[in-house]
Chain A
Amino acid sequence: MTDLLETTALGLDGPAVERHGGFTISENADLALASLALRRDGTDPAPFGLTLPGPGGWVQGGGIAAFWTGPGQWMVEAPGGAARDFAGELKSACPDASVTEQTDGWIAFEIQSHAGANAITGLVEKLVNVDTGRICPGFATRTGLEHMSVFVIRRSEENLAVIGMRSAAGTLWHALTHAAARIQEGSA
């Protein structure tokens, strides 16, 4: 049997973690993702007891989290669930909705600020063209970042997640680390 080596989206042996300026940027390799879409005339399900958010929203609870991706559509996150069949679990919890496995299509980078919430706002201004006044904790949106389509999630005052195409993980990592490093240079 062929010996296969596990590598991360960045081609490394383990998840990347780097500190740039006042930010720690880490690859969240254990995050399971599954999309959830209502069928015609379906009602909003509550997977694992979680009330799904409205437009521009992200909520967590019951060991999972979810953000709105379109009318009647959400992406559901399961931290630490990448190695198990999370889409199957979600389908069991929401049998009347359409569920699609998404884990291997995306790469999630978690950005933690060591310099307060304003530093996150400053980084967001450099990265995406979205009104920073709206990017409060509990906000999530899809937008463009250096011609790539990404999801931006404000998980808390000092934590931001950027989820992008897995095939462009290196490009996205480059964009995030350089933007973070430049904020360090600019503020020094």
Chain B
Amino acid sequence: MLIPHPLLGLRDAQEFTYLGDARLIDRPNGMAENAAEAFHDYVYLRDNPAGVHRELWFHEQGDRSWLIVTRDTTTHEILGAELARDVALTRRGALSEGGAQA
């Protein structure tokens, strides 16, 4: 299986380690009112889709970056890969812009 690394091109999946659902980057705020409930859901509850799934892969024997890989769990087809850092920073930027408007 080859993973299309956004910076390095196609790389063998053997160089990567798999973590799991990409929603793990949405860590809840530990200081919020409902933190215990939010962390229960964050730690234990996962969707298990048969089909397109976004998941975190770590390029351990490579540039050590975290990727969000979109994969079809029924065919193992890799539909795309992006740097998790870019996804997180884009989301944070969108949140802070939204906060500024409010």
Contact = CB atoms under 8 A, between A and B. Distances in A.
30 contacts: A55-B7, A55-B63, A56-B7, A56-B8, A68-B63, A69-B64, A70-B63, A70-B64, A70-B65, A71-B7, A71-B63, A71-B83, A71-B85, A73-B63, A129-B12, A129-B15, A131-B9, A131-B10, A134-B9, A141-B8, A141-B62, A142-B63, A142-B64, A143-B15, A143-B61, A143-B62, A144-B14, A144-B15, A144-B61, A149-B60
Interface of A: 55-56, 68-71, 73, 129-131, 134, 141-144, 149
Interface of B: 7-12, 14-15, 60-65, 83, 85
A56 to B, nearest CB: 6
A140 to B, nearest CB: 11
A129 B11 CA distance: 8
Contacts of B9: 56, 131, 134
Contacts of A129: 12, 14-15
B63 to A, nearest CB: 4
Nearest to A148: B61
A69 B61 contact: no
Contact of A149 (B11, B14, B61): B61
A127 B85 CA distance: 31
A142 B61 contact: yes
The 3 closest A-B CB pairs, nearest first, are A55-B7, A144-B61, A70-B63
Nearest to A144: B61
Contacts of A144: 14-15, 61
B65 A71 contact: yes
B84 to A, nearest CB: 11
